[in-house]
Amino acid sequence: MPGATGDHPPATSGYDAELRRHNEVLRRAAAVRPHDHVLDIGCGTGQTTRQAARTARAGSALGVDVSASAITRARELARAEGIGNIAFEHADAQAHPFPRERFDLVISRFGTMFFADPGSAFANIGRALRPAGRLVMMVWRARELNAWDLTIRRSLGVAAGAAADASGGPDPFSLADPPAVEDLLRGAGFTDVSFTDVHEEVYYGPDVATALDWVCGFTCTGDILERLDPAAAARAVGNLREALAAHLGDDGVRFDSRAWTVTARRP
């Protein structure tokens, strides 16, 4: 399958398991150095932050996320792993008063697509970078290139009709268009903007039941199901179960996906 590497699947589902292959791509692109001070935007439970902190042994890593529960869990995991050069903040990177010119590197694994005001957000992030500091973020490419989204919406749409196409909620594909993103980043003060295609699979779990539970927790899935009456919702979930079963292989439920690794630099 496209993006397959032959590695063993993770034991459970979850966000870190879903994006394990993407995480390795981001890690290589970020190329954290031992003395770097790293800011991780949309860090979730802190896997990428902990990874950065372990590499930046003489530096530090700060993870920020708008989810209080995710930050609580991130702190617990960092303490359990004995990582001392790490911190987490429950904060919105769009407006958080980061120390000016504090960080050498800003990273994000699918955590920058949901800003209410992207221009202000990236300008704020840019001010936190030192001169020549780097931004390395991973974002989804266009919806039509991502089989996971197409399959979910098609499956739900059979039962949901127009509800499946109704807009609302955050858009995970808001940074999919390179010219628009380059204009956005240059307007926020960045330079040397570049895009690298990422063609890897997402992993939804070792079996269909686990994958269905995981996918039903997606915001896009929940938004559609909440607009349906109970009978239609049940049909939609049944359709989704069948679609996930069609993507079940020897190493679990996987879907093709496409993303960008976007890099930029502060002058």
- Secondary structure string (H, E, C) spanning the chain: CCCCCCCCCCCCCCHHHHCHHHHHHHHHHHCCCCCCEEEEECCCCCHHHHHHHHHCCCCEEEEEECCHHHHHHHHHHHHHCCCCCEEEEECCCCCCCCCCCCEEEEEEECCCCCCCCHHHHHHHHHHHEEEEEEEEEEEECCHHHCHHHHHHHHHHHHHHHHHHCCCCCCCCCCCCCHHHHHHHHHHCCCEEEEEEEEEEEEEEECCHHHHHHHHHCCHHHHHHHHCCCHHHHHHHHHHHHHHHHHCEECCEEEEEEEEEEEEEECC
Helices (H) and strands (E) counted in the chain, each on its own, are 10, 8
pTM value is 0.89
CATH class of the region 15-142+170-203+254-265: alpha beta
Q: Which residues pair with 241 in a beta bridge?
A: none
The rounded percent of the chain whose pLDDT value lies above 70 is 91
Residue 38: what pLDDT? 98
Average of per-residue pLDDT across 68-88: 97
Helix (H, G, I), strand (E, B) or coil at 202: strand
Q: What's the pLDDT score for residue 169?
A: 58
Q: What is the pLDDT of residues 164-216, one digit of tens each?
A: 454 455 789 999 999 999 999 999 999 999 999 999 999 999 999 999 999 99
The DSSP 8-state label assigned to residue 100 in this structure reads T
**In this prediction, what percent of the chain has a pLDDT beyond 90?**
79
Beta partners for residue 65, in sequence order: 90
Please, what is the end-to-end C-alpha distance for the chain in angstroms?
Answer: 40
The string of pLDDT tens digits covering residues 129-159 is 999 999 999 999 999 999 999 998 888 885 5
Domain residue limits, the chain: 15-142+170-203+254-265
pLDDT of residue 162: 47
pLDDT of residue 158: 59
Q: What is the average pLDDT score of the chain?
A: 90
